[in-house]
Amino acid sequence: MIVGTAGHIDHGKTSLVRALTGVDTDRLKEEKARGISVDLGFAYLPAPDGGILGFIDVPGHERFVHNMLAGATGVDFVLLVVAADDGVMPQTTEHLAIVNLLGITHGAVAITKADLVDADRLAEVRTEIANVLATTALHDVEMFAVSSQTGDGIAELRARLFAASSAQDSRSAKGRFRLAVDRSFILPGAGTVVTGTVLSGSVAVGDQVVISPSGLAARVRAIHAQNRVAERGRAGDRCALNLAGESITKDAISRGDVVLDPELHAPVNRIDALVQVLASETKPLTQWMPVRLHHAAVEVGARVVLLGDEPVAPSGEAFIQLVLEQPIAAAVGDRFVLRDTTAQRTIAGGAFVDLRAPARKRRTPERIAQLEASAIADPDRALTALLDGAPGYIDFSTFVRDRALSAAEREAMIARLSLLRLVTPKTEFVISPVSWLGLKNDIVATLTRFHAEHPNLPGIGLERLRLQLEPRLPTPAFAAMLQGLARNKEVALDGAWIRLPGHEVRLSPVDEALWARIAPFIKGEGRFRPPRVRDIAGYTSISEQEVRRVFKLIGRMGRVDEVAHDHFFLRSTVAEIVQIMTAVAAAVPNGQFSAAQLRDQLDNGRKVAIQILEFFDRHGVTIRHGDLRRINKHRLDLFGKPAEGMTVSGTVAKIDISGRASFPVERPDFKSGKGREPVLGGFDSHSLPPKIGVR
């Protein structure tokens, strides 16, 4: 258990810690000289049950409240110190307010310097203290009259602390590791050591960690937990970590940094939070008001953005957005405190709700509903509430990371809530079973309708389908969902087209008749040099536009390819050319052939041969090296098999293996650089479309 002191300057906090533990925590020269505490002090006390109590002694001076705040994070039990002679003073109430805002609910009051007052005064002070505690979570804590001078009451108080420590549920170490650094120093012989309270999870010797927000990597060389050498430090322990790493020095790490599990490193500078303004304030929190934000051991300048219509009045509670001057390492649910910019007053405090706060549309009813869901502490209930609201899916990887949940906890949540996961290259989205089913039904209904309205089209493009549906999943998540449906044969993915598995493109009778007139021109003898759109229009007196339209239609069915602009080849002819080309490649050294060598086999002229090769280059079937090409065997089946009876067999005749030397005129103009790289994803829409680009 970690015990933190709190209370006004000179009220006897340090003396009390010394009386309880035997340790004088005022170590600094300045502290000795001035007789006041300036920075945090640390002491440990072994308990009869084998545990160890850690003490964090804080300074009471109003100028050092920021140090008090750095120490108060991670405290389990507060020891509120009030001097019997002075009674409740300004920092008594301010520290109490801070403790309350930080959500510390266990504690005791020590009325110190009891030796200086009589029983009447003691009774008076008790009443005074009870009054200030009344409105806080500590309203029913026990009060102990003590004297560090005479030792009166110290044993009773110590016994109370031991009992509290035994009764305390040990904090869950389930989450991922986070430690808020309050000191960093060099230990001769060991190197860089940082100390702080473990906020969540645990760390073991040998673990890799990251210093956040800087992002420096380090390895844990040794651990002291609660002042003892340990193999592991857990949530609720004060730990000293001996860190090793290329850039790890005393100065590379400072108070306010967080040492964490590398998975958690994702600093933030815009946070949506639930804030409470102290009743003692006289003014509300207003738009773009500058404040000092205190979180864990860090202090940073920030601005307040109101998310409601009104300023947040004293005693009021509201969602706000905090825009930070510098990024910090934080987790959802972490407590924070706001002080004024002159560091004289504590104004407000609360809990972080969403670390990925949007800069725009941050006040819409939809967004506020998300914040209400995110503000639920229990991750299962928060996630369920989020999925029940708009947009109906969430980025689960981010949810899990921002709540510092472990990998095991992540999987357990998926199972407990029967979530459907949509894995994309960058992240994992989840969607509720109800939304998933609704979306699936909508996809099938939309496709059914589309096929009925457009029997001659192969299907709907992914984006077009996505934009018609609610919830509108992000493109990669939608692609992942479609792939899942395709695996179950509920939809079919045809390149870029999505269709129902049973759907086949059918031409209208009119188009069928047009195709019957056009097709003969690209079949048979002349298939390697078919006429272009304009020529076919001339031969058939069908308009150029119509010829082109029918070709594109047939192209979408995968039966023709537009090898060059307005120049369509039957798919089976393209397949046949691939075979001939394979034979050509097999007959030349290194499989490297020239355009002329292919042209000789096809007998279709230099220009067309080059256009065909450039078409293959674009599809990655051929790979160009200067004037020569070789075949990429991985893409040989891209155009399927040649039509029946057209299979090339035997050896290829007439190949000049002397290469381009004997074809001095056959130096195609490749200067344009076109087709230099196989363009695997950039197909024309009328040829084979790209596969949906997700895992």
What distance lies between CA 589 and its chain's CA centroid? 52
* From ligand GTP, Mg ion, none, interface partner of 184 (C-beta below 5 to 8 A by class): none
Taken as a whole, the chain contains a residue count of: 695
Please choose, out of 109-117, 134-142, 400-408, 498-506, the segment that lies near ligand GTP by the rule CB under 6 A: 109-117
Minimal distance, residue 259 CB to ligand GTP, in Å: 28
Spatial distance between the Cα atoms of 105 and 107, rounded to a whole number of angstroms: 7
- Residue 617 as a binder of ligand GTP (CB under 6 A): the answer is no
Look at the block and give the residue holding tokens 């389990």: 76
Whose Cβ is closer to ligand GTP: residue 61's or residue 224's? 61
Per the CB < 8 A criterion, the answer to whether 330 and 268 are in contact is yes
Minimal distance, residue 37 CB to ligand GTP, in Å: 3
Please choose, out of 102-110, 145-153, 281-289, 528-536, the segment that lies near ligand GTP by the rule CB under 6 A: 145-153
Phi and psi at residue 236, to the nearest 5°? 95, -10
Per the CB < 8 A criterion, the answer to whether 109 and 129 are in contact is yes
- Residue 276 as a binder of ligand GTP (CB under 6 A): the answer is no
Minimal distance, residue 61 CB to ligand GTP, in Å: 6
- Residue 60 as a binder of ligand GTP (CB under 6 A): the answer is yes
Q: Which of 373, 375, 332 is nearest to 355 (CA)?
A: 332
Whose Cβ is closer to Mg ion: residue 14's or residue 195's? 14
Task: List beta partners, residue 217.
Answer: 210
Per the CB < 8 A criterion, the answer to whether 274 and 307 are in contact is no
Taken in order 596, 601, 603, 608, is the CA torsion positive or negative? Answer: negative
Single out the residue of 112, 165, 597, 604 in contact with ligand GTP (rule: CB under 6 A): 112
Alpha carbon distance, N-terminus to C-terminus of the chain: 47
Please choose, out of 111-119, 224-232, 608-616, 647-655, the segment that lies near ligand GTP by the rule CB under 6 A: 111-119
| E-only strand ranges, 1-63 | 2-6, 41-46, 52-57
Please choose, out of 57-65, 167-175, 378-386, 403-411, the segment that lies near ligand GTP by the rule CB under 6 A: 57-65
Minimal distance, residue 138 CB to ligand GTP, in Å: 18
Spatial distance between the Cα atoms of 76 and 161, rounded to a whole number of angstroms: 11
Minimal distance, residue 79 CB to Mg ion, in Å: 12
Reading the block at residue 659, the tokens are 């290469």
Single out the residue of 6, 13, 104, 642 in contact with ligand GTP (rule: CB under 6 A): 13
Minimal distance, residue 14 CB to Mg ion, in Å: 3
* HSE, side-chain direction, 13 A CA sphere, residue 41: 26
Whose Cβ is closer to ligand GTP: residue 151's or residue 206's? 151
- Residue 25 as a binder of ligand GTP (CB under 6 A): the answer is no
Spatial distance between the Cα atoms of 429 and 119, rounded to a whole number of angstroms: 65
Please choose, out of 54-62, 92-100, 362-370, 459-467, the segment that lies near ligand GTP by the rule CB under 6 A: 54-62
- Residue 37 as a binder of ligand GTP (CB under 6 A): the answer is yes
- Residue 155 as a binder of ligand GTP (CB under 6 A): the answer is no
Please choose, out of 112-120, 169-177, 417-425, 669-677, the segment that lies near ligand GTP by the rule CB under 6 A: 112-120
- Residue 95 as a binder of ligand GTP (CB under 6 A): the answer is no
Single out the residue of 116, 134, 467, 586 in contact with ligand GTP (rule: CB under 6 A): 116
| E-only strand ranges, 571-647 | 593-594, 622-625, 628-631
Whose Cβ is closer to ligand GTP: residue 115's or residue 442's? 115
- Residue 89 as a binder of ligand GTP (CB under 6 A): the answer is no
Minimal distance, residue 11 CB to Mg ion, in Å: 9
Minimal distance, residue 152 CB to ligand GTP, in Å: 8
In degrees, rounded to 5, the angle at the alpha carbon of residue 165 between the alpha carbons of residues 160 and 170 is: 160
Q: How many residues bind ligand GTP (CB under 6 A)?
A: 19
Please choose, out of 12-20, 122-130, 619-627, 628-636, the segment that lies near ligand GTP by the rule CB under 6 A: 12-20
H or E segment and range at residue 351 = strand 346-354
Per the CB < 8 A criterion, the answer to whether 272 and 243 are in contact is no
Single out the residue of 44, 46, 47, 61 in contact with ligand GTP (rule: CB under 6 A): 61
Reading the block at residue 154, the tokens are 């110290």
Residue at shortest CB range from ligand GTP: 60
Q: Which of 534, 529, 535, 683 is nearest to 615 (CA)?
A: 683
* From Mg ion, ligand GTP, none, interface partner of 234 (C-beta below 5 to 8 A by class): none
Per the CB < 8 A criterion, the answer to whether 128 and 121 are in contact is no
Task: List beta partners, residue 337.
Answer: 294, 349
> In terms of DSSP bridges, do strands 258-260 and 298-306 run parallel, antiparallel, or are they unpaired?
unpaired
- Strand, helix or coil at 442? helix
Whose Cβ is closer to Mg ion: residue 23's or residue 385's? 23
Chain residues in the site for Mg ion (CB under 5 A): 13-14, 37
Which residues contact ligand GTP (rule: CB under 6 A)? 9-15, 36-37, 59-61, 112-113, 115-116, 147-149
